[in-house]
Amino acid sequence: MDVDAPDQTMSGLGEAIEMVGRGERLAARELLLELWEGVGPTGDPLHRCALAHHLADVQDDLVEELAWDERALLAADSITAERAAEAGVAGSVAGLYPSLHLNLGDDHRRLGDLDAARRHLALGQDAAGALGEDGYSAMIRRGLERLAARLTDE
């Protein structure tokens, strides 16, 4: 892989994220699905993880959101440290898991599967040690705390 060449998939992902920020969820979903088709189900795990993670966020159906979040987690399991570093992922691959498990825990909570929600919460909390001390990491920690509180109330 030519590290000097622009990564068209990640560029497209950035464009889709901007679309979501402008309220263009349907257009973003269409772009992300197009990128997903280009990567394919056995393509670069980093691309699959990132695309699936963001595709989950633009779903209208909670079952579909869960399916995309599961794809993101499955892909993360195949990302090598070398590939993450090559792509400029801040921190380690392990730092991806708290967010992935947070999303899955919340999906399961909203679907009423509280046992699965608690399992993913515990996995996310266990993985939180890999987070840094930046704003993103603080946001994920707060999300895990909110999920824990919601699960305590249910």
| pLDDT of 2 above 80 | no
Q: How far apart are CA 35 and CA 48, in angstroms?
A: 9
> Percentage of residues in the chain with pLDDT exceeding 90?
81
User: Across the chain, what does the average pLDDT equal?
Assistant: 93
Closest Cα partner for 72 from 120, 128, 130? 120
pLDDT for 6? 60
Question: According to the model, what pLDDT value does residue 105 have?
Answer: 98
Calculate mean pLDDT across residues 42-65.
Answer: 96
Q: Does the pLDDT value for residue 4 go beyond 80?
A: no
Across the range 74-102, mean pLDDT stands at: 89
Least confident of 1-15, 41-55, 80-94, 131-145: 1-15
The predicted-structure confidence for 101-152, as pLDDT tens digits, reads as follows 999 999 999 999 999 999 999 999 999 999 989 999 999 999 999 999 999 9
In the chain, the amino acid numbered 19 is: M
Residue 1 has pLDDT above 70, yes or no: no
pTM (predicted TM-score): 0.91
Q: What is the DSSP letter of 3?
A: T
Checking if the pLDDT of 3 tops 70, the result is no
Quick count: other Cβ atoms within 10 Å of Cβ 20?
A: 16
- Let me know the angle formed at the C-alpha of 128 by 141 and 82, rounded to the nearest 5 degrees: 125
